[in-house]
Structure formats: C-alpha cells, structure tokens
Structure 1
Amino acid sequence: MNTIVEPTLNPATAARTRARHVRHVAAGGGSVSFDLAAGDRVTLTDPEGLQPGHLYVAGPAGAAQALLPGFAVEAVNTASAPAFAQALLAAAPAGWTLARAEVFGAEGLPGAQVDLNAPRALRCALHAPGEDMQPDAQNAPTELIADIECAEPVAGIAPPPLAPPVLDLRIGAGTAQAYRVKAGDYIQVIDVDGRQCSDFLAFDAAALAQGQEYDLDPTTTRTLMGSASPGPGLLNKYYDERQVPLVEVIRDTVGRHDTFMLACSAKYYDDMGYPGHANCSDNFNNALEPHGVARRAGWPAINFFYNTIVNHDDSISLDEPWSRAGDYVLLRAMTDLVCASSSCTDDIDPANGWNPTDIHVRVYDASNNFSKGIAHRMTPDAAPKLTRETGFHARTSALTRRMVEYRGFWLQDSFSSNGPIDEYWACRERAVMIDLSALRKFEITGPDAEALLQLATTRNIRKLAVGQIVYTALCYEHGGMIDDGTVFRLCQNNFRLVCGDDYCGVWLRELAAKHNLRVWVKSSTDQLHNLSVQGPKSRDILREIVVTPPGNASMDELKWFRLTVGKIDGLPVVVSRTGYTGELGYEVWCHPKHAVQVWDAIAKAGEPHGIAPMGLAALDMLRIEAALIFAEYDFCDQTDPFEAGIGFAVAADKEDDYVGKAALERRKAHPARVMVGLDIEGTELVAHGDPIYNGRAQIGQITSTTRSPILGKTIALARLDVSAVELGATVEIGKLDGHQKRIKAVQVKTSHYDPTKARVRA
C-alpha cells in the first residue's frame, strides 16, 4: 500500500496562478521546494527568529551566485545531498549543478528577511534544519517562508498531484464533464486559479447500468449526517435516497461550500435577464446523456467552493468563494460511480469572482492511503495546514473511531469500550488519561521575555517564581479576550505559554516588535504533546513511574500550579500539576516521538488503579461542573475576563501597564454582564446560546451546559445583565421562539461542584 501522510499543504513545485503572489512554507525541521522563472522576486522570511535556514539552488554554473549576491555559496555534492535537494536535479537540463547558501543564522531576529531576484529559471529548496526539542528545552525548530512575486504569472496550472493519478481531467471554464470512478478510488476536485465553483454529481454505476438513477440525495444526507455540509472524518459521507453511501469526504482545504442547492440552471439566467446563458444544469445534461441519465431542468449537487450566506432573516445570498488557487476537496468513492463535475458558468455575480476559470479533477487509485483533514489558516496570508494526528494517536485511534477535528488535530470524543458517562466517573473516582496535545505552546525567551508577558497578560508575571505556573487572560485594548492560558516560568528569562489559539503567537510577536522588545516567541506545538492524567488516583499512578533528579520536586512534593522535570521509562518529560477537570491532576509533556511509550507506561502503572482513557465529551461535563471556561462558548473577543467569570485572573496589584488595562479598569468599575451558574429545573435539555428571560425581556444567554452525573441535574454557565444577577433568583430559559416555552432555572455560584477547590488542591 502506498501510504501518504500529508500534514501540511506545501506542493513540491510552485503552482503558477493568475495571482502574482505565491507562498511556500518550510516547516521547522523540514523543507519546501519551488521553481523560479527569470525575473521573479523572492522574499525569504524567518518569522519567529533563531531559525537557521539553507537555500539549495539547482541551475547552470554561476546561477546560484547570481541569485545570492553577498552570500557565501558552496557547491553541493549531489550524491551526499539530502533527498529533497537531490530531487531538484530530477529532469533538470544537462549541466545543471547544485549549490547551497546559509540565508539565516541561529541568532536571527524575528521577522528577518532576505530579498532575492531570479536571474533565470531555477529550481530551489528552502530548508529549516533543527533537532527534536526536549520537553524542558526551548529550541523548537520553526518555519521559514518563501514569498514569490511572479514576473509573468501564468493562469491555469494545477498543483502537483497527490500521487500518480489514474485520471487527469481538465474541465474548461463554463463546461462540465462526466467520468467513471471505481469503488475505493479517490476523487480530487481542484480549484485551479481560485474563487471558482464546481458542482459535483455522482450516480451508482451498477444501478445506472440497469436503468435506475440513484444519485446524491440532499434530504437523506442531511438527515443521516445531522449536518448540511459533511466534512472530513470517519463518518462524514454523502448518501443516495436508499441511504447507501456514495462518497466519503477525506480532505477539504477550504471549509466553505454549499450542499444541495441546485446547480445553476436556465431559469436563473432567464429571471436575471440573460436568456440563453450557458448553465451548469444543461452542461450536466449534455455530459451525462451518453451514460443514459435523463435530462433535468436543475440538478441538486454538492456545490464545491460556493459561498452561500444565510442571513439573519433566513434569506440566502452569496459572495465570492473562499477558495484560493490550488485548493481542493478529496473524496473517496464508496461504490463504482458515474460522476460529473462542472466549472460553474456564472459570470453575472460574485459566485465565481465574476470570472469563470478552470476546474481540475484527478482520480487516484484505491491503494493510496490519504490522511483525513480540514485545512486551517492562522491568518489570511498563512499557508494552510491539514488536520494532523497527535503523538498519542496510535493508541487513541486503536480504542475508538469517535474522533473529532479540534483546532487542527484529531482528538477522541469518547472511547468505544466505555462511553462518556463511564469516563466521567472514572475521573471522579479513579483516574483517566486525556490527549490534549492540540493545546498551542509557545516558547518565550530573551532578555525582555518577562517584559513582554507583563505587557501581554492580565497577571503580574514579575511575581511568578521559577517552576511556577499561572493562569491568565490575554486581552485586546478594548478589554475583549484573545484567549486564556497558562504561563510556565522555566528560568529567569524563559517562559512557556500554553493556550488554545495559534494567533496568540502572532499577536505576541507583533506586540514585541511594536515595543522594541528583544524577545523570541517560537511555536513548539508540534514538538511538545501532552497527556493529562486526572483523578484522585493520579498522584499514586505517577508516583510509581516519574523519576525526578534530587533537586526537582517529586510527585508527592509537587504543588498545585507547579512543574517538575523528570523521566518516565527513561524518556524526558515535564510534569505540571495542572488540568481542566476540577480534580487532582497532572499533565505530562513529552516529545511526540515518545508519546506512545509514555502512554503505555502510564496505562500500565494505572491499570491496578482502574485508569481509563477519556475523551472530550466527558471532559466537557467535568469542566462545566468546575466552571472552567471554553473559548467561543464562555468567552470571545467581545467578552472581558470579568464577564467570562475569571476576574480573579486580572491582577489587582499590577501597577505596570498592559494591553487592555484601562478598558478592564473601566469595565470592572461599571460591569454590564456577569457570569453566573444555573441549576435548571426538570430534565429537558438546554443548549449553548439559548436566551434567558425575565418576563418578556431577554437578560442573558447560556454559554455552556451539561447534565451533571454527580449532581443528578442539568446545570449551566450563563452570562446575565448585571441588573438581573441575584443568587437564588429564578430566571427562565426560552425555547422554541423564546416565548412559547420556558424552562425555569435558579442562579447559583459558577462552580457547581467543589467550589472551594478542595479536590484539585488535595
């Protein structure tokens, strides 16, 4: 089997598009290859600093020196060169040689850049060398970027194939084509130049041969999937009216499509005043006629890349697609299919950016094994990253198929052998292991590291001792929260931020540059994965296997919100007494390559204590009981820490200025909304976002809610108008239209269970 794991989306050769700008990213410890044409301008960037960088150049003699004036260029022995560098000479003209230059050193400042001009056609590879980071170190290899301004951009060139294709089909602008796909094969629909919609149809080929048309059915798919737009995952499929799956979604690099509105038809253009305009439905009719498919006035389709907008009044409008050049959706055929794809004909509105362009379809053999994922872009100009697996995935995936996409990683929702309720009780009564490697980690070092965090967080970082951890908020100037997280002090000028949002790293680097601080903020998420060991037996389990040097705290000595450095089974780890459950607990931090061994060691030590794996569903129950907040539910950029229920994380004694300080002082003095707990009457379910009323007026909304197993009732966190806050007072949660049905609830303290934190402090 040809196994292809593609955690990032960096094609080996540049796709030249109608846009003049092309970006390539070399991941830390990796490389990226690209072609240059004569006259292209290249900007190389070390966005985080301290990252060495080597540029390999293949071209005629002297070409590398011409591209890199002022740099020490050395010839490279092709036979001993890395494989990615050797590949530059594959199919190159005779006489081309390989050379290399160091374009960034190990002491570079964040944002350092090198500008180059290509004297002629060349092939290049940008390498970001680096070793694996130990969990107590901070030398994470980080990405380098190559931005190319094309001298003569050419439209219509698709990115390189994911594997050798069995079908390579170009669908010209405003046309459609039909094609056959065997069961198990993969179908890649590519937006070649960006902002171009493509409708997709699929029919059961065996049924069609017998004169029966079973094609993708919108009502069946939406009903079975519980979603209008299935995405990548283990169960996300499109069905026909018999409830037979026809295709499975494997990858999606866009995340914005329309499912099962009609492909454009003659009626749409007639009504808009363009009679006789070409349309996708007629194009499909013509393409499918040789396969015996009856003509239809309009075809229900998967409208890939179509940007449908549902307005507040439920009306539907559209805008330009989100898709960029080279974006794609990858499907897998669940049975033999007759498929049809179009390049949408619409040039009278923003649907295709006012300019229809080509679509490209590739079919790959079933023997390939493509990773599943959704692409994420941290900022609009960032390179997309596909969902990746954590270091513990080999163990968690063997225990459950209930995986969910969470912030760019596949994490377990629950485990097949137990389920969320059993996992919950295991944490309350014994111990559990939770893979939380999707948390973002940033290494913050340099002489101004403390000054940066003092400026960026709501805590008084100056009071933080070496080996201590503090929970904090990061806010914008208006007081709204960017994120919450924990700051670890590893040394005098060495810190680690653990949070939920990749953007925190970008924001910290921008803040440091704005204030001329000498500090480096390096992303270490992919170098540091973590297993949360939580529950009353967690200390007993880790005591048996965590070995710490004499100068470091043992498991019995480790205090709440402190860390220690040690080993498990001879492997380096950092152990912190932190968690997200409200129970006694720890987090074990290790390099991903050691994750499976760390999991096995903890599982073996925990077996006599009844340890169990736990997923996100049970974790949600636990964290709501303990009033531990969650981004985009309990807070957002319109919510300050007081409104999020974490006013304790805003240091009252912090005299230094910090981002949002004036706004937070004003908001604290004149609060508008307050976070409260709710005990909900009866057993009916309520949900995030449900409105809360006092009489006819809405006074707040539910932010998080769960059915508490240990309390035997439904509880919630809610944000109320300050005028309505009163412990013991009754409010009503609106269902249906908010007025026809009301559920009573009583205001209580936010921590529904163990409000004194006696268990977590044990």
Structure 2
Amino acid sequence: MLVTQSAFADPRPRLRGLGVPNVHVADVLCGEAVSLDVRAGSTLSVTNTGGGAAAVLTVLLPDQSCFSGAPVGVGPAEQSKLPVDAFDSRQMEALTRARGGALRDGTGVELFGPASEPGALYVTKLQQDCTVFLIAPVARDFVETGGGSHFSVRVQPPAAGADSIALPRPLGKIVDEWRVSRGTAQAYQVRQGQFIQVIDVEGQQCSDFMAMRASALDAGKERYIDSTVSRTMARAAYPLPGLHDKFYDQDINPLLAVRQDTVGRHDTFALACTARGYEERGFPGHLNCSDNISDAFAPYSIERRAAWPAINFFFNSWVDPTHGHLGTDEAWSRPGDYVAMEALTDLVCVSTACPDDVDPINGWNPTDIHVRIYEEDSSITHSVSWRAQPEDGAKLTRHSAFHPRTSKLTSSFAVSRDLWTPSHFDATGAVEEYWACKTAATLQDMSGLRKYDVIGPDAAALLQHCLTRNVDKLAQHRGFYALMCDERGSVLDDGTLFCIEPTSYRWCCGSDNSALHLREMAEKLGLNVHVRSLGHRMVNLALQGPKSRDILSRIVFTQPGRPMLENLKWFGFTVARLHDRDGPVFMLSRTGFTGELGYEIFCDRDHATEIWDGVMAAGAPDGLVPMGGAALEMLRLEAGLMIAGAEFGPDADAMESGLGFAVDFKKDAFIGRAALERNKAAARRRLVGLTFAGKETPAHGDAIFVGREQVGVITSATYSPQLGHAIAMARVAIENSDEGALLEVGRLDGHMKRLPAIVCALPFLDPKREKARA
C-alpha cells in the first residue's frame, strides 16, 4: 500500500495564490496524536522537529482495519505495537471512538528514535485512501528528567485542483451539504439549534453570508443581520476585521452565534460586491454577489436589492486607523478553513462564492465554497484557530487540563495562545481576586506558558550563546530570569531557565519562537543538543500570595535527595509529590508573575485535576481563591513586570524595555551583546512608570505629550486598587524620563483630552522585591 518516494516536492506549505501545490499541515506534540484523512497518491512527510524522540505511525484502511505491513519510505522505521499507554489516554479514546475502536489492537511503525537528529525526515507515498495516525509517546518521568517531542506532519495531494483537496472532517452529524460553485449563490433554511459550516474549499476564496429571521418573514417583515447592531452589542462599535461572538437583527434579536473560526480575518461591516461597483471600475456586466443574493432569495419573496449588506467570510479587509479608509488584500484563508455558527432561531440564509477576479481578495482566481448543516445536538466546541508560525498547521483553541474545575466556577474565558483560560471567577471578580493575592493566596491556571526542554552535551553552550544571563553559573535545582535577543538587541522572548541536571535545562517562556531560534542556532553552531517541546502535556499552576508557603507545607512531599520546600529560595525549585511518596509528581518552583511570595507547579496533565483539588483543599483555611487573568494584569503592572507586545518587542531593545537588569555584560559573547552595549550608553528612550490622579486609565499605544510634542507612548496601564488611582508603564524620551517630571497622556486623538501624569520609578510597589524574596 505504501511505496518509497525517493524524490518528492518541497513539503513546505505555500498559499494557493502563489501558484504552489496545496499542503495540509499538522503538528503533534509529546503525549498527543493526530489523525488525517489522506487520499491515494498523496505524499506523507513527518519531520522530527526537536530530535531525540520517536513517533509511531499507523494507517487505518476504509474497511476499518489497520494496515499490518511496514510502510516503505525515506527515513528510519521499524514495526512496533501501538503505545496505547505511552501518550494521553484521552487522545486514544477520542481517536478510537472516531474510528470504531480499530486502533486498540493495531500495529504501527516506529519512526526515528531516541538518537534521531533534529530535522530528521520520514517520507512515504500512500497508494490507497486511508486515515493516517501519528502518535508521539512521552516518557512518564519527563517532569523530573526532561523530555518531550514535536513532530510536523505534511500531506501533499497527488495533483493540484479541487478534486485533490479533502474537506475538513465533519464536526458532527451532517443533515445536508452542498457545493456553492464559484460565482454563484444558494439560499437555504436552518432550524434553531442547527449549525452552519461555511468552508473555503481551495483557500483564499471569499463568501458573503446573510441570514433572515424566519418568524419575521412569516409576518411580512425582513429582519436580517445588522452589522451596526451586532458591533454595538459586542461593545466593538468601531469596525474591525474578524467576527463578533453573536450577530443580531434590527430588533436586537440574536440570530447566530459563532462557534468556530479557523481564520480570524473576515469583513463584518462592508457590502457584498455590486454591479455598480464593477461598472464604475470599467467592468460592466460582471457577475456580483449582491445580484446573486437577490436571485437566491427570490423564492422566499425577499425584496431585491442592488447592494446587500453581508458578513463576508474570509474577506481580508480593515479600516485604516489614521484615515478611516477601507483597505483590502488577499484573503488569509487556506484550503479547508471554515466558520461554524449556531442558529439561535429559525433562519433563511444565503451563501455565495464570490466572483471577484479583478482584485487580490480571491487571489485573482475565484473558487468554490462548501456548506454543511449539522443537527441540533451537535457538540461543536467554542474555539478559534491559532498558529505559532504562518507555516504551522492550524490549532483550534482548546480547554486546559484544569478546565473541569475552572469551568464550574466561571464562564468568563479568554484566549491565551491556543488555550482558553479564565478571565475572572463568578464568586469573586477581578478586584477580590487581586486582594486575595495580596492578603491570602490565589491559584491560577497558567498553562498557556510555553515549556521546552533543552537536552544534550552542548545544551549549556547553546543557552549560553542565546541568553543574556550566565548559564555556567546556574546550579542544579536553580533557575533565573533571562532574555533571548536578536543581533539588534531586541527581545525575542523572555522566560525562566531551570537547571534540571547538568545537561538538561527547562526553558519556560512566552513564545514558540524561542524553540525555533534555539534550533536554528544549534544547527548553525553544529551543537549536539535537542530542543524538545512539552506542549500541553505539561501544565502549570501559579500559587501566589503570602499564605502560599503555608498551604504547600500541608501537601508537599519531597524525597531526601531533593530540596525541601522550606529551603527553597527565590528562583529555586524541587521535584515533589502530592501528600506522600506515592502521590502525583510535580516540579515546584519559587517563581511567579505577581510580585508577591509565590510558587509555580508544573505537572503532567493527567494529574491536573488531582493536584488542583489538593491545593484548593489545603488552602481553604487560609482563604485561597482561584484567580483569573484580569487580576494578574493589575498585579503584574504594580510589580513593574514587562510582557511581550507591550513593554518589549521589535521596536525597542532590552535596555529601552526596562530589562537591563536581566543582561549580564560580564559573561562571554551572546547574541545581541554588541548592540546592547552600544545602546546602553546612547539610549534615547527609557521605560518609566506613570501615576495619575484619578481612576481614568489610558490604553496601550496612547501618545504621551509635552505640550504639542509627542515624547513617548503608553505600553501598559491599569487601575491599582491598592494605590487608588490609575498607573501605567510607558516608554518616553530620556530627556523627559526623570522622576517627578510632568507629562500628559493624549486621549481623543491625542489632543482633545489630556490626562496629567507624573513620572515615577518602577516597580510601583515593593521596589526591592521583598515580598517575593520573603
């Protein structure tokens, strides 16, 4: 069934608009699995991104049987049994349910191995339609010893064109589906509770969508999606690209709720294309969506219109913030991207496949749209798509391993990269959670943090080259805060580095770019080191507040060879167990992001709820409460702690970002040192604190003025409950950065309204970090 592919096309994905073949991409992290429906003749390639780990490949045939032979391909492979107990049991259960249980007793092929090099590649060609499963096992002691893996899977269809493109796997039981051919429209009815999935078949194809409330049509009225009402109800009155959570009609009745979006870039405020629009540009008689919508709606006695308002899925447009002009460009959507919506009432809908071939919006090549309708009780989770890098496979946001506990306490969640994490909890709210962290203790799900294990004989050499702190001085069971800079001195990422063993380090950071950068540098320098992603296999909690140590003392057990809880200093860590020697294991570090005494717990996600329950029970006598992201924002600003995209990024170096304390100029050369040394003596801007007289809080990006001249910009701002007024961090000109200097923050376009501010030192509270060091 599988034959060797000795010469194969470049597996890197490219947009269809560039005229390069479709490539379906998926990423598999340690302890997880992925399944892909593959057509006969497709080329499958698997890349061992981090090296030093094995994956298992198995193939399920259309008759639900597992292929028992060994696939033949370019790269190492040998026959093996499926490692059912070596990765997340929930993943196996989900895959088994989806495929009739055939995987349980199946055989697979082990790809790569513990000695594999980063970038090792396996390629094979499939001769039959089948479902391919790739499984990434994980060693159960990875919390203590390090490990992890990351595999990239690419499937290249046998030939270009719509016939070679597999639609995304159904989200539930399909009631009906059809193809909307390019340049046409189709109207249809959906019942309350049913789901509509609009799929871009080949990528970069726009689809106008409109929905009428059926009960209003029965009464002789036309009530349809109103973009102004929808924007206002979503508290987003200024038009922005993307979709609202719900869409309303003119009577403020909810019509649709968006449940899944794999693109994130759509037009929700403009018209569908019109005949007049083409005529004015010199294209008379051109097909247009407005006429197509009118024709499709005609059987429902809906009044014809020359210009239809619509949600234009996949249409890449925006409003220029300076001039207010509407801008457009090529769509972001890729083959198989979609939007899924729940009908909140009975509807009459229409979907188009836009005929525009004179603009970049459809890549100058209009293609088809596919529509599916799912039954009412379909279980379609609320999620959006996320890609760490443009070439990565799309990942829908998922729930954290702590969700079974947090979801019982709140329905307020926000996206943290590819996870949903709580914003605040119903019983407390952000301000009460803030005060609990100041006076007692809080527990927060921080699983969106990225965790990478850097392992091998040259691990320390790589980290010494890439980080701004001296790795050679880092002892086992210790950690430090460090930066990863580029040659210009700009901060690529920040994080905490822990020394697990002399050749094993754990880098906990905010960006997936860290791993890419480390791997690129290892290859460039010819170092023997593996950078392994722990993905969502390792989750983590932050236990913060003055009572945190007392709470942990009731539940932490450490073996004699590990540091004891009471001996952990700031940035120290140990490997512990819950309650006793047989309890679930976790890594416990004395770190946090609140400025208070605190600890972080890193554990296997299979133990997440047990550890959550253990900590919450132990903390009940001390008033421990769960905390969300809103309270953390207030705490981290008071503590003067910087974040990416606000205080640091490509537009400022580490010194201008207030991070000079994390740069060790005494160590040997590291990436960015020369630029930082040069800029240290000639810095033009400085990160400072600003205090305000009242509660009115500026926003990120607000300009800072002295008279008519702009001298800086707000990076982050919040209201401080303890100080009783608004505070902000800001990057301002050196000449205006002295403590006590009077500045003004511009609101209402920077000039119509000014907020007086006084420059102060950072942090706003506890300048010597005495709380965290206590």
Tell me the TM-score normalised to structure 1 length.
Answer: 0.91
Alignment match of 2:153 (pick from 136, 142, 146): 146
Tell me: CA distance 1:686–1:108, structure 2 relative to 1, closer, same or farther (3 Å).
same
In the other structure, the counterpart of 2:588 is: 575
SS at match of 2:306: coil
* Residues 144-153 or 329-338, more deviating: 144-153
Tell me if 1:669 matches 2:681: yes
Partner of 1:600: 613
Following TM superposition, by how much is the alpha carbon of 1:642 offset from its aligned partner in structure 2, in angstroms?
1.3
Alpha-carbon spacing, 1:124–1:285, altered in 2? closer, same or farther (3 Å): closer
Shift in Å, 1:255: 0.9
Answering whether residue 40 of structure 2 is matched by residue 37 of structure 1, we say: yes
1:133: how far off?
4.3
Shift in Å at residue 58 of structure 1? 6.6
- Aligned partner (choices 556, 564, 580) of residue 546 of structure 1: 556
Cα distance, 1:319 vs structure 2: 0.7
Q: Is the 8 A contact 1:58 1:88 kept in 2?
A: no
Aligned to 2:459: 449
Structure 1 stretch displaced more, 220-229 or 152-161 = 152-161
CA offset at residue 386 of structure 1? 0.7
Q: Secondary structure of 1:262's partner?
A: coil
- Identify the residue that residue 187 of structure 2 maps to in structure 1: 178
User: In the TM superposition, what are the counterparts of 1:264-303 in structure 2 within 5 Å?
Assistant: 264-303=273-312
State the shift of 1:20 in Å: 4.1
| Structure 2 SS opposite 1:370 | coil
Counterpart amino acid of 1:125?
V
Offset, 1:122: 5.5
Q: What is aligned with 1:246? A: 255
Seen in structure 2, the aligned counterparts of structure 1 residues 73 and 757 have a Cα distance that, compared at 3 Å, is: closer
Partner of 1:753: 765
Q: Cα–Cα, structure 1 residues 212 and 443, in superposed 2: closer, same or farther, change >3 Å?
A: same
Superimposed CA distance per residue, residues 180-237 of structure 1 (whole angstroms, 9 cap, x where no aligned partner): 11111111110000000011111111221121111111111111102246978xx921
What secondary structure sits across from 2:675 in the alignment?
A: helix
Q: 1:324 to 1:563 in 2, by over 3 A?
A: same
SS in 2 for 1:152: coil
Partner secondary structure for residue 52 of structure 1: strand
Mark the CA change 1:680 to 1:636 in structure 2 (over 3 Å): closer, same or farther. Answer: same
1:634 aligns to 2:634 (yes or no): no
Deviation at 1:56, TM superposition (A): 3.2
For the residues of structure 2 that align with 1:129 and 1:411, how far apart are their CA atoms?
25
Looking at structure 1, the residues matched to 125 and 193 of structure 2 have their Cα atoms a distance apart, in angstroms, of 46
User: What amino acid maps onto 1:515 in structure 2?
Assistant: L
Matched, 1:351 2:361: yes
Residue 713 of structure 2: aligned partner = 701
3-state DSSP class of the match of 2:677? helix
State the distance in 1 between where 2:161 and 2:118 align: 33
Query: Is 2:666 aligned against 1:650?
Result: no
Alpha-carbon displacement from aligned partner over 1:555-589 (angstroms, at most 9, x marks no partner)? 22211110011111411111111011111111111
Any conservation in 2 of the 1:548–1:565 contact (CA below 8 Å)?
yes
Q: Contact 2:189 / 2:348 at 8 angstroms: preserved in 1? A: yes
The one-letter code sitting in structure 2 at the alignment partner of 1:55 is L
The secondary structure found in structure 2 opposite 1:379 is: coil
| Partner amino acid, structure 1, of 2:416 | Y
- Partner residue of 1:610 out of 623, 645, 648: 623
Note if contact 2:67-2:107 (Cα within 8 Å) is conserved in structure 1. Answer: no
Aligned to 2:433: 423
Provide the identity percentage.
42
1:105 aligns with 2:125: no
Q: Within 2, Cα distance between the matches of 1:76 and 1:445?
A: 27
SS state at 1:399 partner: coil
In structure 1, what is the equivalent of residue 87 of structure 2? none
Does residue 155 of the first structure (1) align with residue 165 of the second (2)? no
For the Cα contact (< 8 Å) 1:135–1:590, is it kept in 2? no
1:372 positional shift: 1.5
What is the identity, as a one-letter code, of the residue corresponding to 1:456?
Answer: C
1:49 positional shift: 1.1
- Partner residue, 1:310: 319
What secondary structure, in the 3-state scheme, does the structure 1 residue paired with 2:405 have?
helix
What is the rounded CA distance, in whole Å, between the counterparts of 1:20 and 1:258 in structure 2?
25
Letter in 2 for 1:700: G
Q: SS at the partner of 2:379?
A: strand
Aligned AA (2:512): D
- How many angstroms does 1:30 deviate by? 1.5
Q: Relative to 1, partners in 2 of residues 1:486 and 1:721: Cα closer, same or farther, differing over 3 Å? A: same
Q: Is the contact made by 1:51 and 1:106 (CA closer than 8 Å) also made in structure 2?
A: yes
Give the 3-state SS of the residue equivalent to 1:357 in structure 2.
coil
Q: Which amino acid aligns with 2:49?
A: P
Could you tell me how far 1:105 is from its partner in structure 2? 1.8
Does the aligned pair in 2 maintain the 1:168–1:361 contact within 8 Å? yes
Determine the C-alpha separation between the residues in 1 that align with 2:125 and 2:303: 56
| Distance in 2, Cα, partners of 1:442 & 1:510 | 15
Q: For residues 600 and 621 of structure 2, what CA distance do their matches in structure 1 show? A: 20
Q: Secondary structure at the match of 1:398?
A: coil
SS of match in other structure, 1:116: strand
Match of 1:734 in 2: 746
Instruction: Give matches, 1:311-330, under 5 Å.
Output: 311=320, 312-330=322-340
| Counterparts of 2:193 and 2:570, CA distance in 1 | 51
Give the 3 Å change call, closer, same or farther, for CA 105–470 of structure 1 in structure 2. Answer: same
* SS of the residue 1:136 aligns to: helix
Contact residue 128 and residue 144 of structure 1 kept, 8 A: no
Task: Using the TM superposition, name which of 638-647 and 54-63 deviates more.
Answer: 54-63
Match for 2:538: what amino acid?
L
> Displacement of 1:125 after TM fit?
2.3
- CA distance in 2 between partners of 1:129 and 1:752 (Å): 46
1:125 aligns with 2:132: yes
Distance in 1 separating the partners of 2:115 and 2:734:
51
Query: Could you tell me how far apart the structure 1 residues matched to 2:319 and 2:151 are?
Result: 39
Letter in 1 for 2:293: F
**Structure 1's 282 and 52: CA in aligned 2 closer, same or farther, altered over 3 A?**
same
The answer as to 2:685 corresponding to 1:678 is no
**Deviations 1:40-82 (CA, angstroms, capped at 9, x unpaired):** 54433111112213333578999967843897765999xxxx9
Distance 1:138 1:351 in 2: 50
Give the structure 2 partner of residue 19 of structure 1: 21
Return the TM-score normalized by structure 2: 0.90
Give CA deviations for 1:392-428 in whole Å, capped at 9, x if unaligned. Answer: 1111111111111111111111111111111111111
* 1:116 alignment partner AA: T
Q: Which runs of 5+ in 2 are unaligned?
A: 1-15, 83-91
- Matched with 1:8 is none
CA contact (8 A) 1:140 1:527 kept: no
| CA drift at 1:552 | 2.4
**More displaced, 64-73 or 434-443?**
64-73
Q: Residues 230 and 237 of structure 1 are in contact (CA less than 8 Å); yes or no, is this contact kept in structure 2?
A: no
Unaligned runs of 5+ in 1: 1-15, 93-97
Secondary structure class of the residue paired with 1:739: coil
Shift of 1:23: 3.0
CA–CA separation in structure 1 for the residues paired with 2:74 and 2:674:
50
Bigger mean CA deviation after superposition, 566-575 or 332-341: 566-575
SS at match of 2:566: coil
Matched, 1:193 2:182: no
Q: Confirm or deny that 1:68 pairs with 2:70.
A: no
Q: How far is the alpha carbon of 1:451 from its aligned partner?
A: 0.8
1:664-711: CA deviation from partner (whole Å, max 9, x where unpaired): 111112111101111113333211111111121111011111111111
CA separation of 1:657 and 1:189: change in aligned 2, threshold 3 A: same
CA gap 1:250/1:637 in 2 versus in 1, 3 angstroms: same
Between the aligned partners of 2:474 and 2:278, the Cα distance in structure 1 is 66
SS of the counterpart of 1:678?
A: strand
Q: Secondary structure at the match of 1:542?
A: helix
